A = this chain, B = another copy of it.
Amino acid sequence: MQKNYQQKTLGILGGGQLGRMIIQSAINYNIDIHILDPDIHAPCQSICQKFVHGKLTDFDTVYAFGKDCDIITIEIENVNTEALEKLASEGKEVYPQPHLIRMIQDKRLQKTFYKEKGIPTADFILTENREEVINNAAFLPAVNKLGREGYDGRGVQILRSQTDLDKSFDAPGLLEKLIDFDKEISVIVAKNKKGDVVAYPSVECSFHPTANLVEFLFAPAEISPEIESKAKKIAVDVIHELDLVGLLAVEMFVTKNGEVLVNEIAPRPHNSGHHSIEANFTSQFEQHLRAVMNMPLGNTELRSPAAMVNLLGEDGYSGEAFVEGLEEAMGQKGVYVHLYGKKLTKPFRKMGHVTLIDENLDNLKKRASEIKSLIKIKA
């Protein structure tokens, strides 16, 4: 007899908060989850059926981990894709597909892909080192990105003028035209092996001014129906062009003259979809499971407008985390606290998030700011 979902073992490379929220969904389907993570205290460590302590970038570790699973997926892109390719060639189901993870790992390949496929994106120049950035000073103001290893705001910086050039990255990367955008939005799409595709409504992201991390998110995005459908179409085009099986977050800029440009993509649950746990008919975490396990995809509509506030480690505090203001927040209607099980805080570390649901969008904005000032992660 064919294995039922709950008889299959799903291996996840990475055991952070994204894995943790995938597990919260997987429990509903009796799916056995194996986790590989280099941190012995990873957020998933005590709630999965098997925890393997090891490096995500090591071929032998990833290969041995995957041999034990039926389906393998990721919650972070920085993994050994050669091992995943070998596993796939030996019959394991690996989603997203390893060659796509490898491509997305490298922002240079990502940008080149958009250009080749006619996906709208900001103009860019590939640069091999600092000298090449300096030689392209005429391209400024621009965003200077490292090709690889950038994550959670690292490896990305703005070069406004010549005086910024001496901080440019001295490694393979790119220069991207600085977009004078009106809004940053994100559309999450998913595709299963059968080929079904669904798209979530756009959300609007507001970034922390210095940490380059999402600080607030609002769903739905306040954009015209034309921009909404343009953004959805682009996100669906991207997942089709990639032919990716799994979940894909497509971050986009909406320019002041109504253009929609792809900024970056992530082939996994994403910070811009955390609100979906309470706000949408199907959460992005369950959708990821459905996509990689070839289940029917779930409805993506919003049940209620929502805001999401990232709980970042307070600047100036490092050590054992203590959450201030939790009680006051929990007393409010429609406030959902998610802590990620990280014992230690440090400045700007993602320690949790809060989702707010409220029928009134203006209220949501006001309340999101209040939650932000109320809850502090200190040590």
Contact = CB atoms under 8 A, between A and B. Distances in A.
Interface of A: 1, 4-6, 20, 23-24, 27-30, 46-49, 281, 290, 295-296, 298-299, 301, 303-304, 322-323, 326-327, 330-331, 333-334, 336-341
A331 B299 CA distance: 8
Given A296-B327, A298-B330, A327-B296, A6 B281 contact: no
A353 to B, nearest CB: 10
Given A322-B1, A322-B4, A29 B303 contact: no
* Copies of this polypeptide in the complex: 2
Nearest to A320: B7
Contact of A281 (B1, B322, B334): B334
| A-B complex: 6 closest residue pairs judged by Cβ atoms | A296-B331, A299-B333, A30-B339, A47-B47, A46-B49, A28-B338
Contacts of A330: 290, 295-296, 298
Nearest to A329: B296
B27 A20 contact: yes
Contacts of A303: 303-304
Nearest to A31: B339
B339 A28 contact: yes
A23 B49 CA distance: 14
A337 B47 contact: no
A329 B160 CA distance: 54
Contact of A299 (B4, B301, B326, B334): B334
A51 to B, nearest CB: 10
A28 B336 contact: yes
A46 B51 CA distance: 11
A341 B304 contact: no
Contacts of A28: 336-339
Given A4-B323, A296-B330, 20 more contacts: A1-B322, A4-B322, A4-B326, A5-B326, A23-B27, A24-B27, A27-B47, A28-B339, A29-B339, A30-B339, A30-B340, A46-B48, A46-B49, A290-B330, A295-B330, A296-B327, A296-B331, A299-B333, A301-B333, A303-B304
Contacts of A299: 333-334
Nearest to A27: B24
Contact of A295 (B20, B327, B339): B327
Contact of A341 (B4, B23, B27, B341): B27
Contacts of A333: 281, 298-299, 301
Contacts of A326: 4-5
A340 B299 CA distance: 23
A333 B299 CA distance: 5
Nearest to A296: B331
30 contacts: A1-B322, A5-B326, A6-B323, A6-B339, A23-B27, A23-B47, A24-B24, A28-B337, A28-B338, A28-B339, A29-B337, A29-B339, A30-B339, A30-B340, A30-B341, A46-B48, A47-B47, A281-B333, A281-B334, A290-B330, A295-B327, A295-B330, A296-B327, A296-B330, A298-B330, A298-B333, A299-B333, A299-B334, A303-B303, A303-B304
